[in-house]
Protein backbone atom coordinates (compact mmCIF):
# COMPACT_ATOMS: atom_id res chain seq x y z
CA UNK A 1 0.00 0.00 0.00
CA UNK A 2 1.25 3.49 -0.72
CA UNK A 3 0.57 6.63 1.27
CA UNK A 4 -1.89 7.90 -1.34
CA UNK A 5 -3.55 4.81 -2.78
CA UNK A 6 -7.30 5.12 -2.19
CA UNK A 7 -8.66 3.26 0.80
CA UNK A 8 -11.88 1.24 0.49
CA UNK A 9 -13.21 2.60 3.76
CA UNK A 10 -12.75 5.50 6.16
CA UNK A 11 -13.23 5.38 9.89
CA UNK A 12 -13.50 8.58 11.94
CA UNK A 13 -12.68 8.31 15.65
CA UNK A 14 -13.00 11.36 17.92
CA UNK A 15 -10.60 10.92 20.83
CA UNK A 16 -10.03 12.59 24.16
CA UNK A 17 -7.23 10.95 26.12
CA UNK A 18 -8.08 7.40 25.04
CA UNK A 19 -4.60 5.98 25.58
CA UNK A 20 -6.01 3.01 27.48
CA UNK A 21 -8.59 2.13 24.82
CA UNK A 22 -7.30 3.09 21.41
CA UNK A 23 -5.08 0.09 20.67
CA UNK A 24 -7.88 -2.31 21.54
CA UNK A 25 -10.23 -0.32 19.33
CA UNK A 26 -7.71 -0.46 16.47
CA UNK A 27 -7.16 -4.19 16.95
CA UNK A 28 -10.93 -4.75 16.73
CA UNK A 29 -11.11 -2.55 13.64
CA UNK A 30 -8.26 -4.45 12.00
CA UNK A 31 -10.15 -7.69 12.68
CA UNK A 32 -13.39 -6.51 11.16
CA UNK A 33 -12.51 -4.21 8.26
CA UNK A 34 -12.19 -6.33 5.13
CA UNK A 35 -10.36 -3.62 3.12
CA UNK A 36 -7.61 -1.03 3.41
CA UNK A 37 -9.00 1.60 5.76
CA UNK A 38 -8.00 5.18 6.50
CA UNK A 39 -8.54 5.84 10.21
CA UNK A 40 -8.96 9.53 11.04
CA UNK A 41 -8.15 9.85 14.73
CA UNK A 42 -9.22 13.36 15.68
CA UNK A 43 -7.74 14.84 18.86
CA UNK A 44 -8.18 18.34 20.30
CA UNK A 45 -4.66 19.05 21.51
CA UNK A 46 -1.16 17.88 20.55
CA UNK A 47 -0.80 16.60 24.13
CA UNK A 48 -3.73 14.18 23.92
CA UNK A 49 -2.61 10.90 25.50
CA UNK A 50 -4.13 8.84 22.68
CA UNK A 51 -1.20 9.84 20.47
CA UNK A 52 1.27 8.14 22.80
CA UNK A 53 -0.27 4.75 22.09
CA UNK A 54 -0.41 4.98 18.29
CA UNK A 55 3.23 3.95 17.55
CA UNK A 56 2.40 0.60 19.16
CA UNK A 57 -0.16 -0.22 16.46
CA UNK A 58 1.46 -2.98 14.41
CA UNK A 59 -1.37 -4.00 12.11
CA UNK A 60 -1.37 -3.64 8.34
CA UNK A 61 -4.87 -2.98 7.10
CA UNK A 62 -5.39 0.34 8.86
CA UNK A 63 -3.67 3.50 7.70
CA UNK A 64 -3.62 5.71 10.79
CA UNK A 65 -4.30 9.39 10.11
CA UNK A 66 -4.10 11.19 13.45
CA UNK A 67 -5.17 14.81 13.01
CA UNK A 68 -5.61 17.84 15.18
CA UNK A 69 -9.23 18.93 15.27
CA UNK A 70 -9.29 21.87 12.87
CA UNK A 71 -12.80 23.02 13.79
CA UNK A 72 -12.20 23.82 17.47
CA UNK A 73 -12.48 21.58 20.50
CA UNK A 74 -15.20 19.11 21.38
CA UNK A 75 -16.45 15.78 20.14
CA UNK A 76 -18.93 17.20 17.63
CA UNK A 77 -16.26 19.35 16.01
CA UNK A 78 -13.94 16.35 16.02
CA UNK A 79 -16.43 14.16 14.15
CA UNK A 80 -17.22 16.99 11.71
CA UNK A 81 -13.54 17.59 11.11
CA UNK A 82 -12.80 13.90 10.58
CA UNK A 83 -15.66 13.61 8.09
CA UNK A 84 -14.43 16.72 6.27
CA UNK A 85 -11.10 14.97 5.67
CA UNK A 86 -12.79 12.07 3.89
CA UNK A 87 -12.61 12.65 0.16
CA UNK A 88 -13.89 9.38 -1.23
CA UNK A 89 -15.55 6.18 -0.12
CA UNK A 90 -17.87 5.60 2.81
CA UNK A 91 -17.06 6.76 6.33
CA UNK A 92 -17.97 5.02 9.57
CA UNK A 93 -17.98 7.00 12.81
CA UNK A 94 -16.64 4.88 15.66
CA UNK A 95 -16.05 5.87 19.29
CA UNK A 96 -12.56 5.37 20.66
CA UNK A 97 -13.74 3.79 23.91
CA UNK A 98 -14.50 0.25 22.71
CA UNK A 99 -18.25 0.68 23.08
CA UNK A 100 -19.30 0.07 19.48
CA UNK A 101 -19.93 -3.31 17.91
CA UNK A 102 -17.27 -3.38 15.22
CA UNK A 103 -18.23 -6.93 14.20
CA UNK A 104 -21.03 -5.48 12.06
CA UNK A 105 -18.71 -3.41 9.86
CA UNK A 106 -18.73 -5.98 7.02
CA UNK A 107 -22.56 -5.95 7.06
CA UNK A 108 -22.57 -2.16 7.07
CA UNK A 109 -20.31 -2.14 4.04
CA UNK A 110 -22.45 -4.73 2.25
CA UNK A 111 -25.53 -2.60 2.88
CA UNK A 112 -23.74 0.44 1.46
CA UNK A 113 -22.65 -1.54 -1.58
CA UNK A 114 -26.26 -2.63 -2.05
CA UNK A 115 -27.32 1.02 -2.22
CA UNK A 116 -27.85 2.27 1.32
CA UNK A 117 -26.85 5.89 1.82
CA UNK A 118 -26.76 5.71 5.59
CA UNK A 119 -26.36 2.57 7.70
CA UNK A 120 -27.23 2.74 11.40
CA UNK A 121 -25.84 0.50 14.10
CA UNK A 122 -29.05 -0.24 16.00
CA UNK A 123 -29.19 -1.18 19.68
CA UNK A 124 -32.96 -1.11 19.91
CA UNK A 125 -34.07 -3.29 17.00
CA UNK A 126 -34.49 -7.02 17.51
CA UNK A 127 -31.00 -8.53 17.91
CA UNK A 128 -29.45 -5.30 19.20
CA UNK A 129 -28.53 -4.53 22.82
CA UNK A 130 -27.44 -1.67 25.02
CA UNK A 131 -25.35 -2.99 27.92
CA UNK A 132 -24.40 -0.79 30.88
CA UNK A 133 -24.24 2.97 31.12
CA UNK A 134 -26.51 5.29 33.13
CA UNK A 135 -30.10 4.03 33.22
CA UNK A 136 -31.70 7.44 32.62
CA UNK A 137 -29.58 8.15 29.54
CA UNK A 138 -30.24 4.68 28.18
CA UNK A 139 -33.98 5.03 28.75
CA UNK A 140 -34.18 8.40 27.01
CA UNK A 141 -32.16 7.20 24.05
CA UNK A 142 -34.27 4.04 23.69
CA UNK A 143 -37.51 6.01 24.06
CA UNK A 144 -36.44 8.51 21.41
CA UNK A 145 -35.48 5.79 18.96
CA UNK A 146 -38.44 3.48 19.44
CA UNK A 147 -41.04 6.26 19.59
CA UNK A 148 -39.91 7.72 16.27
CA UNK A 149 -39.89 4.32 14.65
CA UNK A 150 -43.37 3.45 15.97
CA UNK A 151 -45.03 6.85 15.63
CA UNK A 152 -43.80 8.00 12.25
CA UNK A 153 -42.14 4.87 10.80
CA UNK A 154 -38.70 6.36 11.08
CA UNK A 155 -36.32 3.95 9.29
CA UNK A 156 -34.25 3.04 12.36
CA UNK A 157 -35.08 2.15 15.97
CA UNK A 158 -31.89 3.88 17.13
CA UNK A 159 -31.58 7.41 15.84
CA UNK A 160 -29.25 8.58 18.63
CA UNK A 161 -26.45 6.06 18.13
CA UNK A 162 -23.27 7.68 16.75
CA UNK A 163 -22.06 4.40 15.23
CA UNK A 164 -23.15 4.87 11.64
CA UNK A 165 -21.88 4.53 8.09
CA UNK A 166 -22.23 7.55 5.80
CA UNK A 167 -21.99 7.34 2.05
CA UNK A 168 -20.48 10.22 0.12
CA UNK A 169 -24.01 11.03 -1.01
CA UNK A 170 -25.13 11.76 2.56
CA UNK A 171 -21.94 13.59 3.44
CA UNK A 172 -22.41 15.89 0.46
CA UNK A 173 -26.18 16.34 0.76
CA UNK A 174 -26.47 17.23 4.44
CA UNK A 175 -25.60 20.71 5.61
CA UNK A 176 -24.59 20.37 9.23
CA UNK A 177 -26.09 22.74 11.80
CA UNK A 178 -25.46 20.83 15.03
CA UNK A 179 -23.39 22.52 17.67
CA UNK A 180 -23.85 20.52 20.87
CA UNK A 181 -22.45 17.13 21.74
CA UNK A 182 -23.01 13.93 19.81
CA UNK A 183 -26.33 14.82 18.17
CA UNK A 184 -24.62 15.09 14.80
CA UNK A 185 -25.48 11.47 13.95
CA UNK A 186 -29.13 12.22 14.70
CA UNK A 187 -29.08 15.33 12.50
CA UNK A 188 -27.57 13.35 9.61
CA UNK A 189 -30.18 10.62 9.92
CA UNK A 190 -33.18 12.93 10.22
CA UNK A 191 -32.05 15.09 7.31
CA UNK A 192 -31.17 12.07 5.14
CA UNK A 193 -34.70 10.77 5.75
CA UNK A 194 -36.26 14.10 4.83
CA UNK A 195 -34.14 14.17 1.67
CA UNK A 196 -35.48 10.72 0.73
CA UNK A 197 -32.11 8.96 1.00
CA UNK A 198 -31.98 5.26 1.74
CA UNK A 199 -31.42 4.41 5.41
CA UNK A 200 -31.00 0.89 6.77
CA UNK A 201 -30.23 -0.47 10.23
CA UNK A 202 -28.24 -3.43 11.48
CA UNK A 203 -28.49 -4.83 15.01
CA UNK A 204 -25.52 -3.92 17.16
CA UNK A 205 -24.49 -4.38 20.76
CA UNK A 206 -23.24 -1.33 22.67
CA UNK A 207 -21.20 -1.86 25.84
CA UNK A 208 -20.21 0.82 28.30
CA UNK A 209 -16.53 1.73 28.37
CA UNK A 210 -14.42 -0.15 30.91
CA UNK A 211 -11.50 2.32 30.96
CA UNK A 212 -11.39 6.11 31.01
CA UNK A 213 -14.27 8.47 31.68
CA UNK A 214 -17.38 9.39 29.75
CA UNK A 215 -17.58 13.04 28.70
CA UNK A 216 -21.24 12.81 27.76
CA UNK A 217 -23.16 15.85 29.12
CA UNK A 218 -26.76 14.72 29.09
CA UNK A 219 -28.47 17.86 30.41
CA UNK A 220 -26.41 20.29 28.35
CA UNK A 221 -26.95 18.35 25.14
CA UNK A 222 -30.55 17.25 25.60
CA UNK A 223 -32.04 20.38 23.91
CA UNK A 224 -29.82 19.73 20.88
CA UNK A 225 -31.14 16.18 20.55
CA UNK A 226 -34.67 17.43 21.08
CA UNK A 227 -34.37 19.78 18.11
CA UNK A 228 -33.76 16.90 15.69
CA UNK A 229 -36.32 14.68 17.42
CA UNK A 230 -39.02 17.32 16.92
CA UNK A 231 -38.00 17.87 13.31
CA UNK A 232 -38.31 14.13 12.63
CA UNK A 233 -41.66 13.97 14.39
CA UNK A 234 -42.98 16.99 12.52
CA UNK A 235 -41.82 15.68 9.17
CA UNK A 236 -43.10 12.18 9.93
CA UNK A 237 -46.58 13.37 10.90
CA UNK A 238 -46.73 15.48 7.75
CA UNK A 239 -45.71 12.46 5.65
CA UNK A 240 -48.31 10.24 7.27
CA UNK A 241 -51.02 12.84 6.84
CA UNK A 242 -50.18 13.21 3.19
CA UNK A 243 -50.14 9.44 2.81
CA UNK A 244 -46.65 9.71 1.44
CA UNK A 245 -44.90 7.51 3.96
CA UNK A 246 -42.38 5.26 2.27
CA UNK A 247 -40.93 2.81 4.80
CA UNK A 248 -37.35 1.79 4.15
CA UNK A 249 -36.89 -1.87 3.32
N1 LIG B 1 -11.74 15.14 20.09
C2 LIG B 1 -12.60 14.95 21.10
N3 LIG B 1 -13.09 13.71 21.33
C4 LIG B 1 -13.92 13.54 22.38
C5 LIG B 1 -14.32 14.59 23.23
N6 LIG B 1 -15.16 14.09 24.19
C7 LIG B 1 -15.27 12.77 23.94
N8 LIG B 1 -14.53 12.42 22.87
C9 LIG B 1 -14.38 11.09 22.29
O10 LIG B 1 -15.64 10.68 21.81
C11 LIG B 1 -15.84 9.28 22.05
C12 LIG B 1 -17.08 9.04 22.92
O13 LIG B 1 -16.93 9.76 24.12
P14 LIG B 1 -17.68 9.38 25.47
O15 LIG B 1 -17.30 10.44 26.46
O16 LIG B 1 -17.42 7.97 25.83
O17 LIG B 1 -19.18 9.60 25.09
P18 LIG B 1 -20.28 8.55 24.64
O19 LIG B 1 -19.63 7.26 24.25
O20 LIG B 1 -21.19 9.18 23.66
O21 LIG B 1 -21.10 8.46 25.95
P22 LIG B 1 -21.12 7.33 27.05
O23 LIG B 1 -22.39 6.63 26.79
O24 LIG B 1 -21.19 8.08 28.32
O25 LIG B 1 -19.89 6.51 26.88
C26 LIG B 1 -14.56 8.79 22.70
O27 LIG B 1 -13.71 8.27 21.71
C28 LIG B 1 -13.98 10.05 23.31
O29 LIG B 1 -12.59 9.97 23.49
C30 LIG B 1 -13.78 15.90 22.97
O31 LIG B 1 -14.07 16.88 23.65
N32 LIG B 1 -12.94 16.00 21.89
MG1 LIG C 1 -18.50 6.23 25.47
Residues with CB under 5 A from ligand 2 (ion): 97, 99, 209
Ligand 1 atom 25: residue of nearest CA: 214
Q: What is the mean pLDDT of residues 157-178?
A: 97
CB 119 within 8 A of CB 189: no
Q: Is the pLDDT of residue 244 over 80?
A: no
Phi/psi for 179 (5° steps) reads: -140, 5
CA distance 122 to 157: 6
CA atoms within 13 A on the CB side of 139: 3
Confidence grade of residue 215 (pLDDT, cut at 50, 70, 90): confident
93-131: pLDDT as tens digits: 999 998 999 999 999 999 999 999 999 999 999 999 999
CA distance 132 to 116: 30
Model pTM above 0.75: yes
> For a pocket test of ligand 1, which of 14, 99, 123 has the largest count of ligand atoms closer than 8 A to its C-beta?
14
CB 138 within 8 A of CB 207: no
- The DSSP output letter for 130 is E
Residue 223 Cα to ligand 2 midpoint, Å, equals: 20
The pLDDT value given to residue 202: 98
3-29: pLDDT as tens digits: 667 789 999 999 999 999 999 999 999
Pocket of ligand 1 (CB under 6 A): 14-16, 18, 42-44, 69, 73-75, 78, 95-97, 99, 133, 182, 209, 214-216
Q: DSSP string spanning 10-34? A: EEEEEESS-TTTHHHHHHHHHHH--
Amino acid sequence: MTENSPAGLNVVIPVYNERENILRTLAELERHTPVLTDVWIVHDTPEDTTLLALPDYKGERLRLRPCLNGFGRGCLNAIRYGLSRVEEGPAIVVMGDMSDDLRIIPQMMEAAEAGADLVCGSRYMPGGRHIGGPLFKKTLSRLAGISLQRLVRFPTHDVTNSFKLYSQRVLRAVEIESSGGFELGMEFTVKAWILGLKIVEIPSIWKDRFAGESRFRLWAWLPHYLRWYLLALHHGVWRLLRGASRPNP
